[in-house]
C-alpha cells in the first residue's frame, strides 16, 4: 500500500491568491476588504515590414480571474500606448543598408557604384548517427535582399564544402604544426571560394558588373556578416577554441581571468 507523504507547511501555488504576495498584501488591508490584483503586460511591436514604425501598447489583466480564463483574448484590456521618444538624426536599424557599416563601406567606393553585401553562413554537420562522419558546408546570402525574403530557403546558395583535415595519430593532431595547417587550409579555401568576387577583372578598378532587370550595375562586393557558432568563429578569427586558453573569446579578446569581471575589458 502506498502512503501519501505530506510536507509540513508545504505551499501549493496555482492561482495568485494561493501565493505569498497575496497573503502579505491581505494583511495590510482591512479584514472585510478584498485584494484587486492588477497585472500589466507591455510589449513593443513593429507596424511595418521594415521595422521602422513601432507602437508600445500596455494591457491590463485582473489576477482575481482564474488563469485559464485570464489567458483568453477578451480577458485583457488595452490600457494605452507608451510614448516613444525620437531624437533628431536618430538611426533606425532594419535592413543592412540602414546600418553604420553600410554607410562607412559606401564612403569607400565610387559614388556611382553600389555595395554588394556578402553574408556567409557556416556550420559543420555530422553525416551519421555515431557522429564520426562530418561535412562543413558554407552558404552565401546577399544582404541587399530584404530580411523577410532572405530568410526563405531558396535565398541562400551552397558555396562549397570546407575541407576537414584528419590524422590517425593523436599526438600529431595536437601538434602545433597540424593546427597551423588546419588554419592555413581553412583560410586559403575561403579565399579560393570568394576569389572570383574580389578579383580585379575590369578596367574601372575593383568591383564587378551585374545585370539586373536588363540594366548593368557596378557593385563592390564586401563581406558584411559571417554567421557561425563559437567554435567556427574562433577558426575565422584565428583564436584558440579551448575555453582554457588565455583569450577564449573571438570577439572582445578579454583574458580568461577577466571574463567575469564587468569592470575590466
* Angstrom distance (rounded) from CA 8 to CA 42: 38
pLDDT for the residue numbered 200: 55
* Angstrom distance (rounded) from CA 184 to CA 165: 11
Which residue from 25, 11, 12, 16 is spatially nearest to 70, judged by alpha carbons?
16
Q: What is the mean pLDDT of the chain?
A: 79
Q: What angle do CA 246, 247, 250 make, to 5 degrees?
A: 160
Integer-rounded Cα radius of gyration of the chain:
29
In three-state form (DSSP H/G/I as H, E/B as E, the rest C), the secondary structure along 3-67 is CCCCCCCCCCCCCHHHCHHHHHHHHCCCCCCCCCCEEEEECCEECCCCCCCEECEEEEEECCCCH
Q: Cα dist. 102→76, 108, 118 in Å?
A: 42, 10, 12
pLDDT for the residue numbered 30: 92
pLDDT for the residue numbered 90: 53
Is residue 202 within 8 Å of 216, Cβ to Cβ?
A: no
Q: What is the pLDDT of residues 60-118, one digit of tens each?
A: 989 888 888 888 888 889 888 888 776 555 555 578 888 888 889 999 889 889 999 99
Q: Which residues pair with 118 in a beta bridge?
A: 142, 223
pLDDT for the residue numbered 262: 67
Q: What is the pLDDT of residues 120-170, one digit of tens each?
A: 988 877 777 776 777 888 888 898 888 888 888 888 888 888 888 888 887
* Angstrom distance (rounded) from CA 218 to CA 184: 32
Query: Would you say residue 1 has pLDDT above 50?
Result: no
Domain boundaries, the chain: 16-81, 119-201+223-228
Give the predicted TM-score (pTM) of the model: 0.54
Mean pLDDT calculated for residue range 188-206 = 70
pLDDT for the residue numbered 35: 92
pLDDT for the residue numbered 208: 85
Amino acid at each position: 500500500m502506498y502512503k501519501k507523504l505530506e510536507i509540513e507547511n508545504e505551499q501549493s501555488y496555482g492561482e495568485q491568491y494561493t501565493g505569498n504576495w497575496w497573503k502579505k498584501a491581505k494583511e495590510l488591508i482591512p479584514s472585510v476588504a478584498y485584494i484587486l490584483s492588477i497585472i500589466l503586460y507591455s510589449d513593443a511591436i513593429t507596424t511595418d515590414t521594415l521595422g521602422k514604425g513601432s507602437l508600445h501598447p500596455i494591457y491590463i489583466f485582473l489576477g482575481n480571474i482564474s488563469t485559464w480564463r485570464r489567458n483568453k483574448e477578451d480577458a485583457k484590456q488595452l490600457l494605452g500606448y507608451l510614448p516613444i521618444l525620437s531624437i533628431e538624426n536618430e538611426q533606425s536599424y532594419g535592413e543592412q543598408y540602414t546600418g553604420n557599416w553600410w554607410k562607412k563601406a559606401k564612403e569607400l567606393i565610387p559614388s556611382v557604384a553600389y555595395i554588394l553585401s556578402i553574408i556567409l553562413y557556416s556550420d559543420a554537420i555530422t553525416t551519421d548517427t555515431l557522429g564520426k562522419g562530418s561535412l562543413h558546408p558554407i552558404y552565401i546570402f546577399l544582404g541587399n535582399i530584404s530580411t523577410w525574403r532572405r530568410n526563405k530557403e531558396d535565398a541562400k546558395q551552397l558555396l562549397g564544402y570546407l575541407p576537414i583535415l584528419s590524422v590517425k595519430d593523436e599526438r600529431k593532431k595536437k601538434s602545433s604544426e597540424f593546427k597551423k595547417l588546419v588554419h592555413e587550409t581553412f583560410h586559403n579555401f575561403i579565399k579560393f571560394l570568394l576569389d572570383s568576387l574580389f578579383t580585379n577583372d575590369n578596367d574601372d578598378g575593383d568591383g564587378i558588373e551585374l545585370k539586373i532587370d536588363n540594366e548593368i550595375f557596378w557593385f563592390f562586393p564586401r563581406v558584411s556578416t559571417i554567421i557561425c557558432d563559437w567554435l567556427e568563429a574562433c577558426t575565422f578569427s584565428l583564436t584558440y577554441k579551448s575555453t582554457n586558453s588565455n583569450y577564449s573569446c573571438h570577439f572582445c579578446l578579454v583574458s580568461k581571468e577577466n571574463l567575469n569581471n564587468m569592470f575590466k575589458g
